[in-house]
Amino acid sequence: MTAFPLTFRLATALAATLAIATLSATPARAANPLFPQLYTADPAVLVDNGRVYLYVGHDEAPPDGKDFVMNEWRVFSSCDLRHWTDHGAPMKALDFRWAKGRAWASDIARRVVDGKPTYFFYATVEHATIPGFAVGVATSDSPTGPFKDARGSALITNDMTRQTDIAWDDIDPAVFIDDDGQAHLYFGNTVLKHARLKASMTELAGPIDVVPVKDFTEASYLHKHRGTYYLSYSQHFPEETAYMTGPSATGPWTPRGVIMAKNTRTPTIHQAIFEFNGRSYIAYHNADLPGGGEFRRSVAIEELHYDADGTIRFIPQTEAGPAPNPSPGCAG
Ligand code: CA
């Protein structure tokens, strides 16, 4: 019998497959979790030039895993909080040559240095020679990296704080640059700590202070809204998101209660709060992707609302996520 050339038949089959794939992809999937192609956790957010950049840890544990497997961070960006561009891995844990691995929670800041926008990436990793977890800082001239270790050594090591003897009490960096240019770093597990950063952003400017917070677990995050400072964090275990407010970046802090409830499929939760196109949002993680769990989490976002007195309304987790919010002049 006469047949079409094999390549033609393959091409036809491929075209049909693509058509089916396109059709079946037509009904819009729920917005949350944001990245169905991989497990992600510990979001950090930067809004830059009308675009949102979302940095996450990449959970690579197998389905029956009993611990975190996290080797790299990933970065995604969006012009509308609905369509996300995957920029791959801006950095891996072992890019800090003094680290043993473990790409845990990070945060991001932008500062103009010598007239040039510079992006500072603060990240938790396990130290290779100083027992315990450490915080490193890396820089790039692009928000999507690649980021390079800015010091060749850790910014914070476990032996610099001794309030607890656990190995992971100096994790989860949160960086905030105040209106006067002073940069602050909050971090910690079990005990919340704070230090000022020098203008270089790569050195501490003073001592590490302890911030007394009842029931504090981890994931501190500082943001400012209409003149008030908001210090949010995870409390208890399993964790829920709570926050405090204050008149300055260092308080004094008034507890304001819980804004997001515990997850059902993972004991952790980790927030980043940001403003984009005149609206406020919270990024967080749960474990709601198929196959998800404690070590296979997934990042999501919700709109966040302030009441007239400046308090944050409780935020239910949704599959729908926020309405699209297209950024003028931002494309792709
Ligand atoms: Ca310590």
Q: List pLDDT tens digits, range 181-239.
A: 999 999 999 999 999 999 999 999 999 999 999 999 999 999 999 999 999 999 999 99
Domains, in order of start, for the chain? 31-304 (2.115.10.20)
CA distances from 45 to 107, 187, 237 (A): 7, 16, 24
Per residue in 294-332, pLDDT tens? Answer: 999 999 999 999 999 999 999 999 999 999 999 998 986
Q: How far is the CA of 152 from the centre of ligand 1 (A)?
A: 20
Per residue in 36-91, pLDDT tens? Answer: 999 999 999 999 999 999 999 999 999 999 999 999 999 999 999 999 999 999 99
Q: How far is the CA of 125 from the centre of ligand 1 (A)?
A: 13
Q: What is the pLDDT of residue 117?
A: 97
Q: What is the pLDDT of residue 8?
A: 44
Q: What is the pLDDT of residue 329?
A: 87
Q: How far is the CA of 163 from the centre of ligand 1 (A)?
A: 7
CA dist 121 and 144 (Å) reads 10
DSSP 244-258: EEESSTT---EEEEE
Confidence band (pLDDT; 50, 70, 90) for 5? very low
Per residue in 98-140, pLDDT tens? Answer: 999 999 999 999 999 999 999 999 999 999 999 999 999 999 9
Q: How far is the CA of 327 from the centre of ligand 1 (A)?
A: 42
Q: How far is the CA of 169 from the centre of ligand 1 (A)?
A: 5
Contact 224, 239 (CB under 8 A): no
* Element housing 286 (H / E): strand 279-286
Protein residues with C-beta less than 5 angstroms from the ion ligand 1? 158, 161, 169-170
